[in-house]
Amino acid sequence: MAAHQPPRRPPRTGETLITPGAKGFRRHVERRSAAPLIFLRQLPGWVVPLAFVAVLVVGLAVKGFVGTAALVLVAAFLGWFSYLSWPAVELPGRLLRGSVIIAVLALAVSQAVR
């Protein structure tokens, strides 16, 4: 007997993962990111935020290498999402996203020297 699997979230209609007219590095990153983004989209809606918060809490609570690595992972995830959404975000949103990434990296440095 197969276990009952919850229904997957349907893909959004009318949206594309690729920026129209993207060239070079942006196009490469967007194409390489398509499969992981689709995978993340198919997970239950609570999984990604819960995992994100768990890694953030580990990064803030654990001293040394483990805490630093967790915070760098959080910053990398935020940087990846920020890069992908950059063309659709206005200047205030860009500044806020950049500031958050810098703050998380500063916390990572702080954890590294503890």
Query: pLDDT tens, 56-111?
Result: 999 999 999 999 999 999 999 999 999 999 988 999 999 999 999 999 999 999 99
Tokens 């860009």: give the residue.
94
4 belongs to a structural domain: no
CA 78 centroid distance within chain: 4
Which pLDDT does position 23 carry in this prediction? 80
101 belongs to a structural domain: yes
20 belongs to a structural domain: no
Q: Give dist(CA 53, CA 85) in Å, integer.
A: 21
Mean pLDDT score of the chain, rounded to an integer?
Answer: 87
Which pLDDT does position 74 carry in this prediction? 98
34 belongs to a structural domain: yes
CA 85 centroid distance within chain: 11
- Sorted by sequence, the CB contacts under 8 Å of residue 42 that are 6+ apart come out as 8, 9
Q: Within 13 A of 85's CA, how many CA atoms are on the CB side?
A: 16
User: Under DSSP, is residue 44 helix (H, G, I), strand (E, B) or coil?
Assistant: coil
Q: Does the pLDDT at position 52 exceed 90?
A: yes
For the chain, the domain total comes to 1
What mean pLDDT do residues 9-38 have? 77
19 belongs to a structural domain: no
82 touches 98 (CB < 8 A): yes
Kindly report the pTM of this predicted structure. Answer: 0.80
39 belongs to a structural domain: yes
56 touches 74 (CB < 8 A): yes
Which pLDDT does position 22 carry in this prediction? 73
Range of the domain at 91: 25-113
